[in-house]
Amino acid sequence: MLKSDTWRAVLVSVSLLVIFLGLWQLSTPAPQAEEALSEYELLMGGADQEARVPSPSEIIGLAIRELSNPFYDAGPNDKGIGIQLAWSLYRVLTGFGLAALIALPLGFLIGMSPMMYKALNPFIQVLKPISPLAWMPLALFIIKDSETSSIFVIFICSIWPMLINTAFGVAGVRKDWVNVARTHELGPMQTAFQVILPAAAPTILTGMRISIGIAWLVIVAAEMLVGGTGIGYYVWNEWNNLDLTSVIFSILMIGIVGMLLDLALASATRLVTYQE
Amino acid sequence: MQPHFLEIKSLAKRFPTKDGELTVFEDVSFGLERGEFVCIIGHSGCGKSTILNVLAGLDAPSDGEVLMAGKEVRGPALERGIVFQNYSLFPWLSALNNVIFGVAARWPGWSKTRVREHSLRYLHMVGLKDGAEQRKPSQLSGGMRQRVAIARAFAIEPKLLLLDEPFGALDALTRGTIQDELLKICAETHQTVFMITHDVDEAILLADRILLMTNGPQARIAESVRVSIDRPRERGSIVHDPGYYPIRTHLVDFLVSRSHELSGSANSGAPGSGHQGPPRIVDPAQAARGASNAKDKASSNAIAQATSHTAGHSTSNANSATGYRAAESGSLLRAVNL
Ligand SMILES: Nc1ncnc2c1ncn2[C@@H]1O[C@H](COP(=O)(O)OP(=O)(O)OP(=O)(O)O)[C@@H](O)[C@H]1O
Ligand SMILES: [Mg+2]
């Protein structure tokens, strides 16, 4: 029953993809032959000068070329997709990691102490809805380094879901479990690590999963702003080159990497999830 | 008089509410001896769990004090093991690791293998084996979970074991088997136990003494009922003991009518008009025996059933020896005729 359902779902997915790509392919005219180019067009560097939505087959061709040598480096404006993605991942993971270093202990504190919750709640409520990119000018001015600034932006956008979920998870730990820790004379640290952390872990990891999703959304925009390296810069750069094939290819890569990040956090969540 | 092992002195607990204070119980005084098994019975909401939490040190009393072996109880400690009303096992740990959690906390210096062996021994003692010890609580039945909770409490070898309705959520059959196991373990270990229950028969089977708590608010402990039935006891045969029904009738009568009549709220207006100090000691079984002896020296167990019905009338003669007071005999009769 279930198994045949899965197969049917796969079949539907694949046929949708084939239909979509087929229609797309049919609706995009084949590139004109080389001879048809005028002198002017040749001067300007090719037929693609007139922006044209590429066909799927062109994108697949580019993907094969790019992915077979993802880490080539031919100057500041021509780096492989792997290098660009690695830069973005580095920034996301650094900002995310720093945010976790602060959000998790702070979330524990807020979750365990209703007083601290009340004291910090106004700040959280005001800071949370600010678009992370709004911080960019301030960050650039104060930090004076575009690299660190984009990491800061990632940090500021990924801290809130982690902080709030950690506080929520810790505050919601069943009182009975805390009492069991107390009757076993566990110290505060032991209680935090042996009882509260495993009890709140699913909620905390859900927060981390939301955070990394947001961070990946934000890094593209941040890199478009500050430029230099990264997948966001790459997209923008290819747009400036009017190379829509590369733009679409990198959009796909952004989606795939984002999905992988989410999958990683999802399986980590599954590891710590327990059934009551 | 020698002090009790566990001494509860004029304990009271009040909670602040919107309109003033809620006195859950007050003037609660009693003692527990080493190796004694004491049950406490009372209606739901009268404050049994609250008392137990105070004894455990999880909750501070509003008034009075708790002394264990002469020392005041301040805060929870490993020398008092607890089985909570709803298991309170850690769902992310296997049954074995739940017990190991307790044992490792109790003896931090022990080696891993020693902790594991000790934990396994107690799990086997409550009948958890054949792979069940590796399962998570969610993969165990309610009865098995409660066994794990009991094993965890016994495994730390506490001086005092506090059980909060440990079998409340179990079906009658499972409850019976675990009661038998508890009886066996307590006989082996001479564990001092304080247990909350709703079940009159369970209390008689397990306890040396049963404390009767009046209805709340302002609940108090009205009586301390001796269960003078010899050990070892067995679930099957205990009902044939001549003392069984007098005790049972006394308890049921208390729960049905007197728990309300004696409650602090029923005597409101005049605080302190109720009973003060330690609870009255009552021994219905002894009273019944005394009565049947007085009536007919040749009386045998065959008419135990009958004597238990007449016990209400005759205890007034026998009360001087047993502490069973005339005041109770009238209401006992009522319960008997129910
Ligand atoms: N934190 C609290 N604040 C206010 N009232 C409380 C609090 N804890 C308990 N109570 C009240 O104290 C009374 C006794 O509660 P308790 O849990 O001790 O009852 P119980 O005898 O164990 O009942 P049950 O047999 O149903 O478990 C109840 O009326 C309850 O409403
Ligand atoms: Mg209770």
Taking alpha carbons only, the member of B258, B327, B244 closest to residue B286 is B244
Q: Which of A180, A186, A198 lies closest to B88 in CB terms?
A: A180
B269 has pLDDT over 80: no
A153 has pLDDT over 90: yes
**What confidence category does residue A71 fall into, taking pLDDT thresholds of 50, 70 and 90?**
confident
Percent of chain B with pLDDT over 90: 41
Q: Which of B82, B101, B105 lies closest to A185 in CB terms?
A: B105
Determine the pLDDT at residue A105. Answer: 94
Q: What is the pLDDT of residues B110-161, one digit of tens each?
A: 999 999 999 999 998 888 888 888 999 999 988 889 889 989 998 999 999 9
What would the two tokens of residue B159 be? 């001086």
Whether residues B76 and A174 touch (CB distance < 8 A) is answered with no
**What's the mean per-residue pLDDT of chain B?**
81
Instruction: Identify the architecture of domain B6-79+158-282 in CATH.
Output: 3-Layer(aba) Sandwich (3.40)
**Which residues form the domain of A115?**
54-275
Q: Is A148 an 8 Å CB contact of chain B?
A: no
- Is residue A32 in a domain? no
- Is residue A71 in a domain? yes
CATH number at residue A250: 1.10.3720.10
Beta carbon of B45 within 6 Å of any ligand 1 atom: yes
Cβ atoms of residues B108 and B78 within 8 Å = no
Residue nearest (by alpha carbon) to ligand 1 atom 6: B15
Torsion of CA B76, B82, B86, B90, to 10 degrees: 80
Residue with more model confidence, A206 or B308: A206
Q: What is the pLDDT of residues A73-120, one digit of tens each?
A: 887 777 888 999 999 999 999 999 999 999 999 999 999 999 999 999
**Can you give the pTM of this predicted structure?**
0.80
Determine the pLDDT at residue B317. Answer: 39
Residue with more model confidence, A31 or A149: A149
Burial B198-222 (b: 16+ CB within 10 A, else e): ebbbbbbbbbbbbbbbbbbbbbbbb
User: Phi first, then psi: what are they for A250, rounded to 5°?
Assistant: -70, -30
Domain ranges of chain B: 6-79+158-282, 287-337
Q: If you average pLDDT over each of A46-50, B36-40, B43-47, which comes out highest? A: B36-40
Residue nearest (by alpha carbon) to ligand 1 atom 8: B50
Q: What is the pLDDT of residues A256-273, one digit of tens each?
A: 999 999 999 999 999 999
Beta carbon of B48 within 6 Å of any ligand 1 atom: yes
- Token look-up 């108090």 returns B220
B320 has pLDDT over 80: no
**What confidence category does residue B277 fall into, taking pLDDT thresholds of 50, 70 and 90?**
low
B181 has pLDDT over 90: no
- Is residue A186 in a domain? yes
Residue with more model confidence, A10 or A68: A10
Taking alpha carbons only, the member of B221, B251, B259, B266 closest to residue B332 is B251
